[in-house]
Amino acid sequence: MRLHPERAGGLLFMAVFWAACGAGGSGGDNNPPTTYKYYAYVANASSERISAYVINADTGALTVVPGSPLTGHAPVALKVEPKGKFVYVANRGSDSISAFAIAAATGALTEIVGSPFTAGTYPNSLGIDPSGRFLYAANLFSHDVSGFRIDSATGALSPLAGSPFVLLPGIECSFLIADPAGRSFVYVAHDNRISASTMDTSTGALAAVAGSPFATGSGPLAIDPQSRYLYVTLYADARVAGFTIDPATGALAAVPGSPFAAGAGANSVAVDPAGRFVYVVNTDSNTISAYALQAATGALIDVPGSPFPAGSHPLHVAVEPRGRFAYVANYYSNDISVYAIASATGALTPVAGSPFPQQGAYCLDTVKIAQ
């Protein structure tokens, strides 16, 4: 089985921290702690729908948001912007990107005026810089990256000057991720190569990093929250490769022991928000490989009990912003598996009610939003 007919979009997370509640001396304010709601959004390729769920903060269980699902156009990738205001969906059926505003109190989605916005041919993966100003789409068949400026008030997209960006002429642009630590690097997986670019913080334009492209990797990408390490799956080899990220240049170098064994059809990869664990869905073996990330080197060590069973043909994994639960989109079994993450070991245990029905589940993202 080839990878790209069942590709899931790269994935991007940004931690949202608890607001500090100071209690001063005599006469100081005693403000109540900030409360949050948690949501999950799912691109469903075969049913051409975009679904929204409320995440139960205590159990991880999913409840459908009223008004969900919305209509898509063969959606295959989905990304929530870092401030939790907007959701963007890559539609391979119409070579476009749909944009939605999130209602903070309910999680409901409303399509933004002007949506969908034109992308390249077969947009396959989305990335957003941590400031939420720029969105990038890796276009599989036009071999380029579309860049957009995000209107902070409306969420509307406008093409960047110089877009689309051709990183490796004539080579597929499969998956894309932006540096979550805000160091202005963007990485794209091609055919067994990873291109690295710097992002102009004023214009959003992309320029190649010295030494780019780097070998090897053609699957989905993940970066740990401190932007020390990048991981990419090797579908045909049933492995996951790890790289150190040079903080000054963005250049990549293999971590010791890389690549690491995964399962058949190693596909989507995610790092938990604390940077302690890495998860890989194995599409052809219907499992999830779990690893402990070694902070000093970036090497991966199997978590006891790994791999863990998933549904049929799992395509994508995401870890919610607190790192308590993991979510897996199972394409053939038409559902979403939800797991509690053991804080000490990273081991996965299905939550009550899992899996949750969802026809054509392909890619998902989670967010927490202050109320």
Structure tokens at 274: 């604390």
Say if CB 212 and CB 243 are below 8 A apart: no
Q: Are strands 86-91 and 75-80 parallel, antiparallel or unpaired?
A: antiparallel
pLDDT at 175 over 60: yes
Can you give the pLDDT at residue 17? 25
Which residue in 4, 13, 8 sits closest to 190, CA to CA? 4
Q: Are strands 117-118 and 144-150 parallel, antiparallel or unpaired?
A: unpaired
Beta bridge partners of 326: 319, 339
Tens of pLDDT, residues 2-47? 334 344 443 333 322 222 233 333 345 577 889 999 999 999 998 8
Give the Cβ contact number of residue 144 at 10 Å.
24
> SS3 sequence, 154-210?
CCCEEECCCCCECCCCCCCCCEEEECCCCCCEEEEECCCCEEEEEECCCCCCEEECC
Beta bridge partners of 198: 185, 207
Which residue in 239, 316, 355, 335 sits closest to 47, CA to CA? 335
DSSP state of 132: S
Which residue in 140, 81, 144 sits closest to 112, CA to CA? 81
Q: What percentage of the chain has pLDDT greater than the value 90?
A: 86
Instruction: Please state the separation of Cα 154 from the chain's center in Å.
Output: 22
Which residue in 139, 154, 155, 7 sits closest to 81, CA to CA? 155
Is residue 318 within a helix (H) or strand (E), and if so which, with residue range?
Answer: strand 314-319
Say if CB 271 and CB 225 are below 8 A apart: yes
- Helix, strand, coil % over all residues of the chain, rounded to 5: 0, 45, 55
371/36 Cα distance (integer angstroms): 6
Tens of pLDDT, residues 215-254? 888 899 999 999 999 999 999 999 999 999 999 999 999 9
φ, ψ of residue 317 in degrees (nearest 5)? -130, 140
26/265 Cα distance (integer angstroms): 62
Beta bridge partners of 195: 188
pTM of the model: 0.91
Structure tokens at 156: 């509307």
pLDDT at 351 over 50: yes
Beta bridge partners of 196: 187
In sequence order, the 6+-apart residues with CB closer than 8 A to the CB of 2 are none
80/84 Cα distance (integer angstroms): 6
94/332 Cα distance (integer angstroms): 23
Q: Mean pLDDT in the chain? A: 91
Residue with token string 């399962």: 263
- The stretch 40-67 carries a mean pLDDT of 96
Can you give the pLDDT at residue 29? 58
230/244 Cα distance (integer angstroms): 6
Can you give the pLDDT at residue 309? 98
Can you give the pLDDT at residue 255? 97
CATH number, domain 4-10+37-370: 2.130.10.10
Tens of pLDDT, residues 184-200? 999 999 988 999 999 99
pLDDT at 97 over 60: yes
103, exposed or middle or buried, with CB in 10 Å at 0-12, 13-18, 19+? middle
Output the CA torsion 217→318→224→81 (10° steps): 100
Structure tokens at 183: 């160091």
pLDDT at 283 over 80: yes
89/83 Cα distance (integer angstroms): 16
Q: How far from 57 is each of 40, 51, 78, 110, CA to CA, in Å?
A: 12, 19, 22, 24
Domain boundaries, the chain: 4-10+37-370
Tens of pLDDT, residues 117-168? 999 999 999 999 999 999 999 999 999 999 999 999 999 999 999 999 999 9
Residue with token string 């194995």: 282
Tens of pLDDT, residues 302-316? 999 999 999 999 999
